[in-house]
Structure 1
Amino acid sequence: MTATPVSTPAEPRRDTRIWDPFVRLFHWTLVGCFAANALVTNPEHSLHHMIGFTVVGLVLARILWGLIGTRHARFSDFPPSVSGAMEQLSEIVRGRRHVHAGHSPLGALMIYNLIATLLLIGFSGWLMTTDTYWGVQWPEDLHKAAVTWAEVSVLAHVAAVFLESLRLRINLPRGMITGYKSLPVNDTDNGR
């Protein structure tokens, strides 16, 4: 996670390929599946269960890709770091703008949070379908609490992406659509 000073509007930038097709397809498919299950489908319906299993499959595929995928997709490129996140918050408060070619420290923590939460949702949802736990209250309570936490996390993620896009003067959602991020030319990391 190399931090690069953000260029002023007069300084040149270049579009750098950061997000590979798998990461982008995973992201938007996950968005659609999570939204469908959280907002549209009936939790008692088999479609809800199928979408839930699809989400778990997507997350497991993303974990694998985090181990063997392209540079910015790999977990080694964005290790969880509370100290890095605190440093990023401090920079935000001080008005310093740094752009990260891949995930920022705060973004990394959100990714790990969402991966763990989505797996917990899938596991607790599956428990509710088993003979042993069918009708038992705690798996349902755990499932609902995890879904609520995921919804709050998603809202925080979307708000952070919007605010960071404004603060850094970089269209972050564009990167998750096209794969390219506008980075300062003086970026020694070169996005590779």
Structure 2
Amino acid sequence: MNDTWVSRADNDAHAPGTVRILVWDAPVRVFHWLMVASFAGAWLTAESERWRLLHATLGYTMVGLVAFRIVWGVMGTRYARFSAFVRSPRAVLRYMASLLKGRPERHVGHNPAGAIAIIAMLLMTWAVGVTGWAAYNSTGGEWLGELHGGLANAMLALIVIHVVAVLASSLLHRENLIGAMVTGYKSGRANESIRTARWGFAALVMAAAIAWWWTQWQAAPQASAPNPSAASAAHLRTDGDGDGD
């Protein structure tokens, strides 16, 4: 059953009969913003030896989030399921053609072009995670570290393209797609809404992420505090040597 295929002639998101409906469940939204935060943090700490553990922790967080998203893509709510938005190449071409004509097909969930970007980012996250693990554990030589960096750069480029496409789609469809990923709500017909946000599953995802971060924090090597007695003794020895001169 194709739940999100609603590419009717009424491309206007605010056409008569539309209301504010719940489209994105809470687990999808928590997954999305945890991925954004984790990638940003991993990217900013990539070149720092001091923050190496944090970089690895955020990278593993992304891999775990992708594992959850795959499961949720099978058992999740209406618009979270892969079967609802992964389309054939023909459907993607048809959607792209509608964009060029200035009359984009309307999709309550992900559109066919956006689905390609989503699948690509899920696969790329795993590739970046595997090469990052190998580089972090000095497995396979320096070339894996270089491959890890190259894949991370490619993923950043894909994310930039995705953001630009979302902004462009927001203008074309006359609806705030970024805001929808925050609130979960879009414009549509009443019978197109999902029944519940599934906050319980979202809380489990958030709790798992926090628990993982906490275990990594506890395992982090603690910086040794300076010994005041040793420092005082060293100071006295230095003063004594000076007096002898």
Q: Taking structure 2 as the reference length, what is the TM-score of the superposition?
A: 0.71
Q: Is the 8 A contact 1:80 1:112 kept in 2?
A: no
Which protein has the larger Cα radius of gyration, Structure 1 or Structure 2? Answer: 2
1:154 and 1:53 map into 2 onto residues whose CA distance is 18
- Assess, with a 3 A threshold, how the Cα gap between structure 1 residues 96 and 51 changes in structure 2: closer, same or farther: same
Q: Separation in 2 of the partners of 1:76 and 1:10?
A: 27
Match in the other structure for 2:151:
146
Structure 1's unaligned 5+ residue stretches are none
Residue number in structure 2 paired with 1:178? 183
Match of 1:27 in 2: 32
In structure 2, what is the Cα distance between the partners aligned to 1:131 and 1:37? 18
Alignment of 1:1-192 (within 5 A): 1-2=4-5, 3-4=7-8, 5-7=10-12, 11-40=16-45, 42=47, 44=49, 45-133=52-140, 136-183=141-188, 185=189, 190-192=192-194
Deviation at 1:69, TM superposition (A): 0.9
**Higher fraction of strand:** 1
How far, CA to CA, are the matches of 2:30 and 2:13 in structure 1? 32
AA partner of residue 160 (structure 1): A
Pairwise CA RMSD: 1.9
When normalised by structure 1's length, the TM-score is 0.89
Query: Is the 2:23–2:108 Cα contact (8 Å) retained in structure 1?
Result: yes
Give the CA deviation at 1:8: 7.2
Identify if the C-alpha distance between structure 1 residues 94 and 130 changes in structure 2 by more than 3 Å, giving closer, same or farther: same
Q: Report the Cα offset of residue 97 of structure 1.
A: 2.6
Structure 2: runs of 5 or more not aligned: 195-245
Q: How many residues align?
A: 187
Deviation at 1:16? 1.2
Structure 2: distance between partners of 1:146 and 1:111: 16
Q: Which amino acid in 2 is paired with 1:90?
A: A
